[in-house]
Structure 1
């Protein structure tokens, strides 16, 4: 099953690529690697939710927002390579989680992104990952996801 067929089976649609919020591009290819810029949970041009995990945003909401970020990252990746079937492997994912100082469940939030990538890309979506708690993210986003993909 192709990634596009898998997206359809999951009742998901890749969004339009999120316009950069500053001086950068959504994705850059160098050789067989594509690096995406950090993607926040934008839906139809608006931040889906704001705030910090452990204060304003629940763990479940955070994981769902990470899933949106990963979908946005896939859109940026596809815009660079033309077809997600060209993805050999998601190599690395970094998930930044805006966190209340007492919040320590960043990996569980990041699972929202990781699980989406595996659902859409199968074994090619399994990756190395970092989940990092931070004080704040752009636009007061709760989560930001970036990835590195190997492509053909």
Structure 2
């Protein structure tokens, strides 16, 4: 079986640089065998890929793509913390926050963007528990934010 890094390349993706923190925190923190990522926004090359509320300015399909970008940024933070992605034994938990218009109820489908990416990259080790939460606003007016907990060796 190919490594997670190889699978990312096979998907036509590349692991981005770790997104610099927007405030007083670190991108990822390890305690024992667990790595917790900070909330990751859909930032590409230092710029937020989109702004607005899902179900208003952002359509759900675009939001799902943005959740995938958040997941890629979380993967980058994990790799920076542990050195290589083959050290990930399991993605334990995903929390996805979706800045939602008042009448938008499709948060689980939006967060599938990151869940599907994790399955493609880590296979069975990418299967995880998850929360998908609708919120009024996210930092910098981002439509989606994702955080992960990974078990590593």
Q: Same fold (TM over 0.5)?
A: yes
After TM superposition, list the pairs within 5 Å mapping 1:115-134 onto structure 2. Answer: 115-134=116-135
Q: Partners of 1:31 and 1:125 in 2: how far apart?
A: 19
- TM-score, normalisation: structure 1: 1.00
Give the Å deviation of 1:74.
Answer: 0.1
> 5 Å matches for 1:35-50?
35-50=36-51
CA distance in 1, matches of 2:60, 2:8: 24
What is the 5 A alignment of 1:3-152?
3-152=4-153
Counterpart CA distance in 2 for 1:4 and 1:84 is 7
Query: How far off is 1:142 after superposition?
Result: 0.1
Following superposition, the deviation at residue 94 of structure 1 comes to 0.1
Q: Distance in 2 between matches of 1:75 and 1:50?
A: 22
Per-residue deviation at 1:110? 0.3
Summarize deviations over 1:107-139 as a string: whole Å, max 9, x none.
Answer: 000000000000011011110000000000000
For structure 1, which runs of at least 5 residues remain unmatched after alignment? none
Q: Return the alpha-carbon distance in structure 1 between the equivalents of residues 151 and 122 of structure 2.
A: 12
Q: Secondary structure at the match of 1:93?
A: strand
Moved over 2 A (4+): none
1:54 match: secondary structure: coil
Q: Deviations over 1:2-42 (max 9, x none)?
A: 00110111111000000000000000000000000000000
Q: What runs of 5+ residues in structure 2 fail to find an aligned partner?
A: none
